[in-house]
Amino acid sequence: MEDKTFTISVYSENNVGLLNRISGIFLKRHINILSLNVSESEIENVSRFIIVVNTTEKWVQNIVGQIEKQIEVIKAFYHTDEETIFLENALFKIASSLLFDEKQIQNIIKESQSTIVTVSRDFFVISKSGRRSEIEELYQKFKPYGIMQFVRSGRISVSKQKMEISSLLETFE
């Protein structure tokens, strides 16, 4: 089996220590987490972890099974990139003088469909949502001009297929 990128979605109660136990499952198997995001889910009082890994389907099945053994975990799913719609977000902080002195900066912002979030005397901040490759491409375009700060979020995603989490929770009510 060949390595592929998988997005693991974990629905759980939001309890202290769960993230540590989940990351330990990956550590034991020497699988690197490429991206991790935790947020509220579409279900009240239920959190959703989105974990991106590069491994074989056999290993991801094993990991999802181990994650589901955690007492706070309601359900875990895994999907390939083809089965999900996903984005990352990034912020770029750049010297304000470049916005006015380098015409190419304005072109880069426009062509990349980025948004200027704020402009101050010393810097401006650009926001970009998209796939990791789009953000990386924008990073490479800004790099020669000097990036003061850069941050990228973890992946956020939704599955193309309906996930049966809501109907599963209804059985517990």
- How does pLDDT run across 117-140, given as a tens digit for each residue? 999 999 999 999 999 999 999 999
- For residue 125, the Cα-to-chain-centroid distance in whole angstroms is 20
Instruction: Check residue 79 and give left, alpha or beta (phi > 0: left; psi -120 to 50: alpha).
Output: beta
**pLDDT higher than threshold 80 for residue 32:** yes
pLDDT at 162: 77
Q: CA nearest 150: which of 89, 93, 88, 87?
A: 93
DSSP state of 133: H
Residue 78, H or E segment = strand 73-80
**pLDDT higher than threshold 60 for residue 36:** yes
- How does pLDDT run across 60-107, given as a tens digit for each residue? 999 999 999 998 999 999 999 999 999 999 999 999 998 888 889 999
In contact, 57 and 64? CB cutoff 8 Å: no
Q: How confident is the model at residue 44 (pLDDT cuts 50, 70, 90)?
A: confident
Residue, of 151 and 43, whose pLDDT is higher:
151
Share the mean pLDDT of the chain: 91
Distances (CA, A) of 54 to 59, 64, 98, 158: 10, 14, 38, 18
This prediction has a pTM of 0.83
Averaged over 143-166, what is the pLDDT?
88
- Beta-carbon contacts of residue 32 (< 8 Å; ≥ 6 apart): 26, 53, 54
- Beta-carbon contacts of residue 18 (< 8 Å; ≥ 6 apart): 12, 70, 72, 73
